[in-house]
Amino acid sequence: MKTAVCIKQVVTREWQLRVNDQKTWIRDADASFELNEPDAYALEEALRLKEKHGGEVVVCCAGPARATQVIREALARGADRAIHVESDAFTAADGATVAEALASAVRDEQFDLVLTGLQSDDQGFGQVGVVLAEKLGMPHATIIMDVQVQEGGLRVKRELEGGWFQWVALPMPALLTIQSGINQLRYATLKGIMAAKKKEIRKAAAPAGSEPLQKILSLYVPEKAKQTQLLGGSAADAAKQLVVKLRDEARVLQ
Amino acid sequence: MSVLVIAEQRDGKLNRATWETIAAAQQAGGPLRVAVIGAAVEAVAGELAAAECERVIAVEDQALGEYTADGFVLALSALIEQEQPALVFLPHTYQTRDFAPALAARLGRPLITDVTGVKKDGDRLVCVRPMFQGKLNADVAAGGPPPHLVTCQIGAFRADSAARGAAAAPVVKAAVAVDVSRIRQKPEAPFKEAKQAVDLSQASRIVAVGRGIKAQENLKVAEQLAQALGAELAASRPICDAGWLPMDRQIGSSGQTVAPKLYVALGISGAIQHLVGMKGSRTIVAINKDADAPIFEVADYGIVGDLFEVIPAIVAELNRS
């Protein structure tokens, strides 16, 4: 089975976000970056499917040059090779633009299966995977918590709201968006890191730019919905104040 | 700007989030129509006719009885071409997330998801939505020819603020051709995992842990607080994903929704998927080392500090009083 895993590089969760002067994106020149977490689960699922059914795992990324960091990491975890559609324009691009770039890179590869994370930790529109499926003419299923390969296709477990699930069968080639927690992640071994250095990263040109369909007008810190009483001082002071508040003001300790 | 709302129903039962979406669409302005699709939607259409709108459009087809992404994209792309709305509003449910991006791609139109507010800027609609896990908000505008698609975050608009009409709106039937042979997904019946041992919705106090707890062995610190408060222990998704607590103790859009009288969030940043499961709690306490964590937006009381100093101090204080 030949599987593509689409990955994105995002700023780390711990990174203190600051908005740029135009208020259209964050200041990320000196940020630290990581593999988008749901994509890490998609990669892990692809590696497990390969261990069970054989084949090849190819990492695909539409991102700026610095995204090589997460591509190398994916190769170190066990992916066989990578395709990098490189452009600075992808840093804050909308889902349709990223999906078009990924589609141009994977269209001729004849993948049996394409996996993506269900959404990105930065913009979080949650559409690249499904738009990509439409562009590739593949059937898709989203928010997947289990993947079974069966005669003629796949049987996958979709997560629904509130603890509900549903099995869905679909023919291959297909695209799935993977939910976090579908598996336990592996980390790169030293051997994997060494091996990754010899693996191919094919650079692909970004497709001719079409007008983006949507635009971030401004990015800002949200206003608080509630007036939070911040309790300061030492840990002991804060704890003392909190217990008094909970007992006498909120009356939730009885 | 004419708006078409796509209602969500299953087995003839309306998803309440539809009313929230109607409220959002009314704020966006312009003549409103509401469409509902499925195998038998007459009763739901009648219910929706209470909304202040031009008309309710009922699309019935046996092929739409069970939800499939392909079936819904076929039906809705045809319906949208017939109706020619300027905007299409949908509730940001798991079902919408499954088909709406494909619908937008098929129509070649933009889709702005997870919207929490709408503003009019001349004849353009500006959508407010969270980014970076809720740490920032973004004003986003769609461009190019209509329709533009928008999905509304669950709980962001008030269902009871949706305007009702003086009289019931007319219900009209519309036919769209759904070619069953083009539906590639074959769904089985939805089910619940059997072992849902804990019903957190009944707990009056909950102590919930997030990534900030750092390691499984640190859970005992949270357990001590839960015990001192007489609270149930719960967690945000990453903790259950890691297997540190069972899945049935997960709070959030993919887990349980709770509204206890006291909710203590320990090291939980407050991604929207978590907030939707707990923001109805009466009193919310957040303890987090990051003063900018979105959890503080919903907290009544907040302590910015190290969990492993603050929690034992609270336990000691509770045991003293």
pLDDT per residue over B123-165, tens digit each? 899 999 999 988 999 999 999 999 999 999 988 899 999 999 9
Pick the CATH number of B3-182 from 2.40.50.140, 3.40.50.11270, 3.20.20.80, 3.40.50.620: 3.40.50.620
Please give the torsion angle defined by the CA atoms of residues A176, A180, A184 and A190, in that order, rounded to the nearest 10 degrees: 90
What is the Cα–Cα distance from B107 to B6, expressed in whole angstroms? 16
Is the pLDDT at B80 greater than 80? The verdict is: yes
CATH of the domain at A70: 3.40.50.620
The A residues from 161 to 200 touching B (CB cutoff 8 Å) are 161-171, 179-181, 184
Q: A10 and A108: one domain?
A: yes
The continuous run of DSSP H or E covering B251 comes out as none
Q: A-chain residues within 8 Å CB-CB of B99?
A: 130
Q: What pLDDT, on a 0 to 100 scale, did the predictor assign at position A210?
A: 72
Q: Do B141 and A217 touch (CB under 8 A)?
A: yes
ipTM value, please give it: 0.93
Spatial CB neighbours of A234, under 8 Å, sequence gap ≥ 6: none
Q: A21 and A98: one domain?
A: yes
Q: What pLDDT, on a 0 to 100 scale, did the predictor assign at position A76?
A: 98
Residue at token pair 């072992």: B195
Answer whether residue A242 is part of any domain.
yes
Q: A97 and A200: one domain?
A: yes
Is the pLDDT at A165 greater than 90? The verdict is: yes
Q: What is the pTM of this model?
A: 0.90
Q: Do A243 and B317 touch (CB under 8 A)?
A: yes
Q: Do B192 and A247 touch (CB under 8 A)?
A: no
The B residues from 124 to 153 touching A (CB cutoff 8 Å) are 126, 130-144
Is the pLDDT at A203 greater than 80? The verdict is: yes
Confidence band for B194, pLDDT divided at 50, 70 and 90: low
Q: Is B38 left (phi over 0), alpha (psi -120 to 50) or beta?
A: left
Q: Where in chain B is the domain with CATH 3.40.50.1220?
A: 200-320
Region B258-275 average pLDDT: 93
Q: A26 and A125: one domain?
A: yes
Residue type, A93: A
Report how many domains make up chain A.
2
Confidence band for B201, pLDDT divided at 50, 70 and 90: confident
Helix (H, G, I), strand (E, B) or coil at A235: helix
Answer whether residue A217 is part of any domain.
no
Q: Which domain holds residue A58?
A: 2-204
Least confident stretch, A185-194, A222-231, B26-35, B82-91: A222-231
- In the Cβ-directed half-sphere of B15, how many Cα atoms lie within 13 Å? 23
Q: A146 and A187: one domain?
A: yes
Q: B-chain residues within 8 Å CB-CB of A163?
A: 192-193, 196, 248, 254-256
Answer whether residue A95 is part of any domain.
yes
Q: What pLDDT, on a 0 to 100 scale, did the predictor assign at position B261?
A: 95
Q: Does residue A64 have a cis bond before it (omega within 30 degrees)?
A: no
**Closest CA relative to residue A172, chosen from A192, A153, A189:** A153
What is the Cα–Cα distance from B278 to A225, expressed in whole angstroms? 14
Q: B-chain residues within 8 Å CB-CB of A240?
A: 313, 317
**Closest CA relative to residue A91, chosen from A81, A83, A101, A82:** A101
Residue type, B141: A
Q: Do B317 and A239 touch (CB under 8 A)?
A: yes
**Residue A34 main-chain phi, psi, to 5 deg:** -150, 170
Q: A233 and A197: one domain?
A: no
Least confident stretch, A43-57, A141-155, B246-260: B246-260
Answer whether residue A221 is part of any domain.
no
The continuous run of DSSP H or E covering B321 comes out as none
Answer whether residue A88 is part of any domain.
yes
Kind of pairing between the strands at A174-178 and A164-171: unpaired
Q: What pLDDT, on a 0 to 100 scale, did the predictor assign at position A211?
A: 80
Superfamily of domain B200-320: TPP-binding domain (3.40.50.1220)
How many CB pairs below 8 Å do chains A and B form together?
259
Q: Do B140 and A252 touch (CB under 8 A)?
A: no
Q: A-chain residues within 8 Å CB-CB of B191?
A: 164-166
Q: What pLDDT, on a 0 to 100 scale, did the predictor assign at position A217?
A: 96
Kind of pairing between the strands at B117-121 and A33-35: unpaired
Q: A33 and A156: one domain?
A: yes
Quote the tokens at residue B314. 């609270």
Contact status of A151 with chain B (Cβ, < 8 Å): no
Q: Where in chain B is the domain with CATH 3.40.50.620?
A: 3-182
Q: B-chain residues within 8 Å CB-CB of A184?
A: 242-243
What is the Cα–Cα distance from B34 to B51, expressed in whole angstroms? 9
Residue B300: which of A11, A96, A250 has the nearest Cβ? A250
Spatial CB neighbours of B269, under 8 Å, sequence gap ≥ 6: A13, B133, B134, B135, B210, B211, B212, B288, B290, B293, B294, B295
Residue B243: which of A11, A142, A184 has the nearest Cβ? A184
Q: Exposure of A174 by Cβ count < 10 A (0-12 exposed, 13-18 middle, 19+ buried)?
A: buried
What is the Cα–Cα distance from A159 to A157, expressed in whole angstroms? 7
Is the pLDDT at B196 greater than 70? The verdict is: no
- The residue among B225, B249, B285 with the most chain A CBs within 10 A of its CB, best to mutate, is B285
Q: Do B101 and A130 touch (CB under 8 A)?
A: yes
pLDDT tens digits, A228-251: 999 999 999 999 999 999 999 999
With contact defined as beta carbons under 8 Å apart, do B16 and B44 qualify?
no
Q: A156 and A245: one domain?
A: no
Is the pLDDT at A12 greater than 80? The verdict is: yes
Q: Do A139 and B269 touch (CB under 8 A)?
A: no
Q: Do B305 and A19 touch (CB under 8 A)?
A: no
Strands, DSSP E only, in B171-231? Answer: 171-174, 186-187, 191-192, 205-209
Q: Do B139 and A217 touch (CB under 8 A)?
A: yes
Q: A81 and A146: one domain?
A: yes
Q: What pLDDT, on a 0 to 100 scale, did the predictor assign at position B193?
A: 76
Q: Which residue is closest to A120 within chain B, CA to CA?
A: B132
Q: A-chain residues within 8 Å CB-CB of B136?
A: 17, 19, 26, 219-222
Q: A-chain residues within 8 Å CB-CB of B269?
A: 13
Answer whether residue A211 is part of any domain.
no
Q: A133 and A246: one domain?
A: no
Confidence band for B195, pLDDT divided at 50, 70 and 90: low
- The residue among B188, B237, B268, B290 with the most chain A CBs within 10 A of its CB, best to mutate, is B188
Q: Do B192 and A164 touch (CB under 8 A)?
A: yes
Q: If you ran DSSP here, which 8-state letter would residue B189 be given? A: P
Report the mean per-residue pLDDT for chain B: 94
Q: What pLDDT, on a 0 to 100 scale, did the predictor assign at position B247?
A: 85
Q: A174 and A250: one domain?
A: no
The A residues from 91 to 150 touching B (CB cutoff 8 Å) are 94-96, 99, 118, 121-131, 133-135, 139-143
Answer whether residue A16 is part of any domain.
yes
With contact defined as beta carbons under 8 Å apart, do A166 and B190 qualify?
yes
Least confident stretch, A169-173, B84-88, B236-240: B236-240
Q: A-chain residues within 8 Å CB-CB of B93?
A: 161
Answer whether residue A70 is part of any domain.
yes
Residue B285: which of A169, A215, A242 has the nearest Cβ? A242
Q: What pLDDT, on a 0 to 100 scale, did the predictor assign at position B199?
A: 81
pLDDT tens digits, A183-195: 999 999 999 999 9
Is the pLDDT at B256 greater than 90? The verdict is: no
Greatest Cα-to-Cα distance within chain B, rounded to the nearest angstrom? 70
With contact defined as beta carbons under 8 Å apart, do B120 and B38 qualify?
no
